[in-house]
Amino acid sequence: MKTTKPAVITRVIKMDRGKRLIAIIMLVAICPLLASCYDAREVDDLGFVIAMGLDRGKTNTLRMTLQIAKPMAGADGGGSGDDLPYEQFSVEAPAVFSGLNMINTFASKQISLTHLKVVVFSSELAREGLKPYLNAMLRGKEFRPNMPIVVARHTAEEYLQSVDPKLVTNAAKYYELVFQSYKYTGLIPKVEFHDFYLASKSPCRNPVAILGDAGKFLSAEEFDIKNSTYMDHHRSMPFEGDFFAGDIPALGGARAGNVGLAVFEGDKMVGELDGTNTTMYLLCTGDYIHSYWTFPDPLAEGRYVLMDVKQSRKPKHRVEFVDGKPRIDIMLNLEGDLVAVQSDIDYETGDNSLVLESAAEDYIKDHVQKFLDKTINEFQSDICGFGAYARAHFMTWAEWEAYNWHTKYKDATFNLTVNFKVRRPGLILRSGTSEAMESRRDDQ
């Protein structure tokens, strides 16, 4: 019986010598690919850093603190009891990468920064200037451009030590979520390394960083509001944003907290803004999403109207020059949904609604104006990036550079317009209707 060879084999046999040679060369060339290469690294052999803290060192230039994830601690059923999902290492070194070398000598796994979620600088280091460290982060390919930048009001080591996530078992997820809270609190800025670095070198804006600190209260008995900024805002008691990080009278969860922002001029930190001013910053830059606001009731003293305030449209900016000085027009478009009306006054419809809208506009305008004045008088730093709108008045880069925006910003004046609309009344359509009917019945 005649046996037939498979088609592939027949084709190879029929190949001429040249083609057979090429096929052999190609097969040989594929071999190194199958055997992996010099850069092969097993995931299990690497220690993934999730947070990095940089402080001024005692024995060397830097004290570097690394939080390295313990993979099983974050997995379902893994870890035991109160075990933290990471291990913390500290080392004093002349620079970031030399510190990594030193930690690699005693950490059992090779350190990798490819999953780094946050970099924390101490305010001491930030006030001296971050240029030497930013350069390393841009050059080093393991640093991600999306990682948030935090300035710890005391030390970065203490801040990282106080991170003890209670609601998530995965520390990396904790960092990913906690710095997204600007979207629903408005109390921290939106900052990524990419933005921070570009702003630190920009001739038309200055960077900001998230302000963080370890909470200073260990029990409810210790609570106080002496570091609150409520008096600066002319209030009788603190609102939710009238604090800096670490000063909020709160317990539970991770002790590390983030409220407010660190103001920079170039790569040097020049001041801090509290949570309320951070909200105004977000409004001016257009990064504001939504959050709950406490407005003083315009018709009932001592009572408050709470609203979920959203940005209905991005802010509009225009920069004009009057006698060589910048005049900045800002138009904010906001809308609010009623969440609570303590006085039970009917703000849903009619004239009361207009009164509330007008009061909200004045309230916001006043706060934004104070925030902008602070950037001029206290910091002389254009953190909102108005310089980017001023550039359009110049034809060439040389002309723009010669104008020197950073020195002119202190002479800027602002023209603010706030449009506020109460959109939805929540689940109550007419406040106080039943009470009004009851009193009418009593009268009859």
Partner 1 sequence: MKKKTIFGHWEASAIIMNLICTKIFLNFPRMAVEEGGTAAWIFAIYIAILAILGFTVIQKLYKPFEGKDLLDVAELAAGNIGRILVGFVILFCLGWGTVAYMRMFSENMKLISLTTSPLSYVELYFVVCLVTGAYFGIEALSRLHAFVVPVITVGFLLIMLGAVNYIDPGNLMPLLGNGLSAIFIKGAQKVSDYSEILVLFLLASFLKKYEVMKSTGYWSLVLASVFLVISVLVFSTVFPYPSSLEITIPIFHVARLIKLGRFFQRVESVFLFIWAASSLLYITVNFYLILFTFQKAFRLDYYKPLIIPLSIIVMSLSFLPSDFAEVVTYEVELFRSWSWVPAFVMPILLLILARRKHRKSAESGGNEPQDS
Question: Looking up tokens 């020059």, which residue turns up?
Answer: 321
User: What six digits make up the tokens of 58?
Assistant: 């005692």
Residue 373 neighbours by CB under 8 Å, 6+ apart: none
Side chain identity at 430, as an amino acid letter? R
Exposed, middle or buried: residue 216 (CB in 10 Å: 0-12, 13-18, 19+)? middle
Which is closer to partner 1, CB of 185 or CB of 202? 202
> Which stretch in 17-25, 47-55, 68-76, 321-329 sits in contact with partner 1 by CB under 8 A?
17-25
Examine residue 18 and tell whether it contacts partner 1 (CB under 8 A): yes
Examine residue 22 and tell whether it contacts partner 1 (CB under 8 A): yes
Examine residue 331 and tell whether it contacts partner 1 (CB under 8 A): no
In our burial notation (b when 16+ CB lie closer than 10 A, e otherwise), range 334-370 reads bbbbbbebebbbbbbeeebbeebbebbbebbbebbee
Which is closer to partner 1, CB of 272 or CB of 287? 287
Candidate list 10, 110, 146, 439; residue touching partner 1; CB under 8 A = 146
> Which stretch in 43-51, 335-343, 394-402, 418-426 sits in contact with partner 1 by CB under 8 A?
394-402
Candidate list 59, 396, 407, 444; residue touching partner 1; CB under 8 A = 396
Candidate list 7, 9, 13, 26; residue touching partner 1; CB under 8 A = 26
> Which stretch in 69-77, 157-165, 392-400, 413-421 sits in contact with partner 1 by CB under 8 A?
392-400
The DSSP result for 347-405, as a single string, is: -SSHHHHHHHHHHHHHHHHHHHHHHHHHIIIII---TT-THHHHGGG-SSHHHHHHH-H
Closest CA to 378 of 410, 408, 346: 410
Alpha carbon separation from 288 to 20, 192, 296, 309, 361 (Å, rounded): 65, 15, 21, 10, 16
> Which stretch in 104-112, 138-146, 210-218, 297-305 sits in contact with partner 1 by CB under 8 A?
138-146
Minimum gap (Å) between residue 22 Cβ and partner 1:
5
Candidate list 347, 400, 409, 420; residue touching partner 1; CB under 8 A = 400
> Which stretch in 320-328, 358-366, 390-398, 411-419 sits in contact with partner 1 by CB under 8 A?
390-398
Interaction pattern, residues 170-209, with partner 1; x per rule: CB under 8 A: ------x-----------------x--xx--xx-------
- Collapsing DSSP states into helix, strand and coil, what is residue 127? helix
CB atoms under 10 Å from CB of 81, counted, come to 4
Binding site for partner 1 (CB under 8 A): 18, 22, 25-26, 29, 37-39, 138, 141, 144-146, 176, 194, 197-198, 201-202, 388-389, 391-392, 394-400
